[in-house]
Amino acid sequence: MYPRNVRTSRARRRDGYAGRQMPPRRGPGETRGMRILGAAMAALALTASLQSPATATSRPAALKWTACGDGMECAKLTVPIDWNRPGGPTTQVDTARLPARDPARKLGSLVVNTGGGATIQPVRAMPAVVRELTTWFDVILIDPRGLGDKGSQALVECPIPQPRIDGLVLQPGADGWRAHAKANAAYDASCRKAMGAAYQGLTSWQVAHDLEALRRALGEPKLRYFGNSYGTVYGQAYMELFPGKVGRMVLDGMPDHSRPSLEHWLGAYARTQEQQLERFRDWCAAGCALGDADAIEVFDDLLARVRRAPLPAGERTLGEREFLVAVTEGLTPPAWPRLAAALRRAADGDATDLAKLRPLPPEKPGYPHGAMLCHDFMPETPGYREFLAVESRLRALAPRIGWVQGRYQVARCVGMGKDPAYPPHPVRVKGVPPVLIVIGDTDITTPHLGAEHLAGQIPGARVVQHGDGHAAYLMQGVAGLNDTCLRRHVHDYLTAGTLPPPGARCPGDLVARIPRG
């Protein structure tokens, strides 16, 4: 799960995070400003990566578990705001426990973070995402800083929400850039005020230390961990900081935090999005609302038409930029049937259904996880003119639809403050046991190109690739698909340490169930 905020009803909104890979050589048109940006981020990354993990002199107080509904027991984990100052002011992190079904046979504790926003609230809403894991483990849920269970003091509400992710697409000029940056700055300022001093703990470096504090409070000799989506960023940091404490670790839907170059990061998104249009075409070829028509040819024709004049969409019209946003939103696999039907109707002269694919306006209040993402992935953002130079190369790399991802991703962070920061840097992992990395071919939320690049930097890592999209393990559980190739590999590894064979590949069990309509 990769929700934009803690409200699970909004989970349909795309909330992709960084995956970073492009050819290593810079494009000939790269500006001096972008080279300086890359160097600055690399320097910051080196500083961050060389920070020694903070150590505590005594074991944290035992967690006080109390029943909190939905079969859960909840507890507060007290941690320093800044683990560089372990004796300084503290804050609290929400945790919850789903006890093993058979305590006499349990294998220990498995810490789970489902990524993106909060973990505890989404699991309350969809317990099937982790239910099977309680066959063997006490499942321990942990929320990142600033988020938490409903009604908890750990859950921070920012009075001003983050602006629309499509803002820089719909307002492409310099004025739109400045307006979007101003809106992001207002969101950031409201989160800073709402969190107070605790705002300085909003990085994955700090959360990785929280995981170590949780391991110690649980009395576990090693951290057994399942991280999904943004939860894998915490896992990446933990491997670097506490390699000797890594037990069995599954990382599913992995953003690549190892690329200091912003352009490389955007390039992975652009190429993956372009590939996804081709995957949608291939899926549609076996039967969809487009009939015998080639989906890419329909897209190309509609794009040419909308460039000449806006498409009728009920009482309004759909322009070129709105069209690109709608298709971008429709390229996640669960939305493919709606996208096919909307393209069919638009080709017949009515783009109303396409317009409905666009993301909804942001809800109030906002939540601080968007700020953490920027501190981790984009503490420095390019200026408008610098970005245009990058965008021109993204258009050459992914000319149909992929280049739009440049504006989608930068829109998250332009205008945000630079502090605190845990910038991307090459992975420095030594002495960890083999970890299991799960990569989806149709995952455009955390691009497979970035995940593959990162997996290659983790010694002994074993990869299982599959044909489904983002959060496949969790979503297969929701769908009741418990005995799939992917889930068997994950369970064999977590329970017995059995790794899949090199080159392991699983089918797209969720994609196979998408109705063709």
Give the residue numbers spanning the domain of 465.
Answer: 1-275+364-394+411-492
CA angle 349, 329, 451 (to 5 degrees): 145
Instruction: Tell me the HSE value of 210 on the side-chain side, using a 13 A CA sphere.
Output: 31
Per-residue pLDDT at 117: 82
Taking the C-alpha atoms of residue 97 and residue 104, their distance in angstroms, rounded to an integer, is: 17
Smallest CA-to-CA distance from 369 within 241, 188, 213 is with 188
Residue 340 lies in a domain: no
Q: Residue 493: CB partners within 8 Å, gap ≥ 6?
A: 248, 250, 436, 499, 500
Would you say residue 258 lies in a domain?
yes
Answer for the pair 39, 470: CB distance below 8 angstroms, yes or no. no
Chain centre to alpha carbon of residue 151: 25
Tell me the pLDDT tens digit for each residue of 314-358: 999 999 999 999 999 999 999 999 999 999 999 999 999 999 998
CA distance 160 to 157: 9
Tokens of 485: 């190739």
pLDDT, residue 363, reads 81
Answer whether 0.85 is exceeded by the pTM.
yes
Residue 197 domain-assigned?
yes
The pLDDT tens digits of the residues spanning 9-32 come to 333 333 333 332 222 223 333 333
Asked if residue 511 belongs to a domain, the reply is no
Two structure tokens written together for 289: 């609302």
How do residues 428-483 score in pLDDT, each as one tens digit? 999 999 999 999 999 999 999 999 999 999 999 999 999 999 999 999 999 999 99
| Under 8 Å between Cβ of 165 and 171 | no
Answer yes or no: is 249 within a domain.
yes
Q: What is the CATH number of the domain that holds 220?
A: 3.40.50.1820
- Give mean pLDDT, residues 380-388: 95
Q: 3-class secondary structure for 387-450?
A: HHHHHHHHHHHCCCCCCHHHHHHHCCCCCCCCCCCCCCCCCCCCCCCCCEEEEECCCCCCCHHH
85 inside domain: yes
pLDDT digits (tens, 9 = 90+) for 67-122: 999 999 999 999 999 999 999 999 999 999 999 999 999 999 999 999 978 999 99
219, two tokens: 């009395």
How do 66-69 and 72-80 pair as beta strands?
A: antiparallel
Answer yes or no: are the C-beta atoms of 406 and 391 closer than 8 Å.
yes
Asked if pLDDT for residue 5 goes beyond 60, the answer is no
Length, in residues, of the chain = 517
CB distance 454 to 256 below 8 Å:
yes
For residue 6, give Cα distances in angstroms to 74, 142, 252, 396: 18, 14, 20, 37
What the block records as the tokens of 186 is: 């207002």
What is the distance of C-alpha 42 from the center of its chain?
Answer: 22
Q: How confident is the model at residue 60 (pLDDT cuts 50, 70, 90)?
A: low
> What confidence score (pLDDT) does residue 361 get?
81
Residue 319 one-letter amino acid: G
Instruction: Give the H/E segment covering residue 493.
Output: helix 485-496
Q: How far is CA 428 from the centre of its chain?
A: 21
Inside any domain, residue 172: yes
Please give the pLDDT value at position 128.
94
Cβ atoms of 373 and 230 within 8 Å: the answer is: yes
Is residue 298 domain-resident?
no
User: What is the spatial distance between Cα 46 and Cα 333, in angstroms, rounded to a whole number?
Assistant: 37
Residue 396: φ, ψ to 5°:
-70, -35
Alpha carbon 517 to chain centroid, angstroms: 29
Pairing of the two strands 90-98 and 138-142: antiparallel
Q: Give the whole-angstrom CA distance, residue 485 versus residue 440.
A: 13
The token pair at 92 is: 């609290």
| Number of domains the chain contains | 1
Q: Percent of the chain at pLDDT above 70?
A: 88
**Average pLDDT over all residues of the chain:** 89
